[in-house]
Amino acid sequence: MEPLKQRILSEGKILPNAVLKVDGFLNHQLDPQLLDAIGEEFTHRFVGERIDKVLTVEASGIAIAVFTAKALGVKAVFAKKFPASKHFDQGYSAQVISYTKQTTHLIHVDGAYLKPGERVLIVDDFLANGEAAMGLVNLVNQAQAELVGVGIVIEKGFQPGGQRLREAGIHVESLAIIAQMSENSLDFAP
């Protein structure tokens, strides 16, 4: 997705440990025009699939999910994050490790908003090690919903998440795949 790649190149900031900050349009400040285009692009990438719901995790996934849901004419649901020690009697939970932040937390969705047989598209801002995405897939499975696929805005192609999901047979669509990133350069996969 060319406009997205241009924004990454012009506004992205590369930090140590392969951290890419896109706070100018995706993770802190939000550009509704770009988000609208992202929602349309995901709809295009998964055309022909019946999709009943878009699922993501707070907070950075919310804007992406709701614009994708708008383009698809369905509702979005965001999993909520809790400390790993939290216990739920109801709904669906999964543990997620954040390698960037060196923490583990729990994500949770109320059973009312993810139901058996629903066809679910997962979307998220980044795919690196695939922990968040696999956690969301886990919630979909627990709910006996059907996973349509995973839509990612920025995939770090040099980290194992993409391969992990694709080898699990999951249809992954990433709008920008970064092949290589160093202190002062960033290349996209073709």
- Output the six-digit token pair for 77: 């649901």
Cα 18 to Cα 180: distance, rounded to the nearest angstrom: 9
What are the φ/ψ torsions at residue 179 (nearest 5 degrees)? Answer: -80, -35
Cα 185 to Cα 64: distance, rounded to the nearest angstrom: 26
Give alpha helix (H) positions in 46-157: 61-72, 131-142
- Candidate list 80, 119, 164, 171; residue touching a copy of itself; CB under 8 A: 80
Q: Is 36 in the site for a copy of itself (CB under 8 A)?
A: yes
Number of residues that bind a copy of itself (CB under 8 A): 29
Which sign does the torsion angle of CA 69, 108, 96, 119 carry?
Answer: negative
- Output the six-digit token pair for 189: 């996969």
Q: Is 107 exposed, middle or buried (0-12, 13-18, 19+ CB in 10 A)?
A: buried
Of the two residues 78 and 127, which places its CB atom closer to a copy of itself in the complex?
Answer: 78
The interface mask with a copy of itself, positions 102-131, x = CB under 8 A, is -------xx-xx------------------
Of the two residues 9 and 59, which places its CB atom closer to a copy of itself in the complex?
Answer: 59
- Candidate list 50, 75, 115, 166; residue touching a copy of itself; CB under 8 A: 75
Q: Is 14 in the site for a copy of itself (CB under 8 A)?
A: no
Return the DSSP state at 26: I
- Candidate list 3, 6, 9, 29; residue touching a copy of itself; CB under 8 A: 29
Of the two residues 29 and 95, which places its CB atom closer to a copy of itself in the complex?
Answer: 29
> Site residues (CB under 8 A) for a copy of itself?
23-25, 28-33, 35-36, 58-59, 62-63, 65-67, 69-70, 75-78, 80, 109-110, 112-113
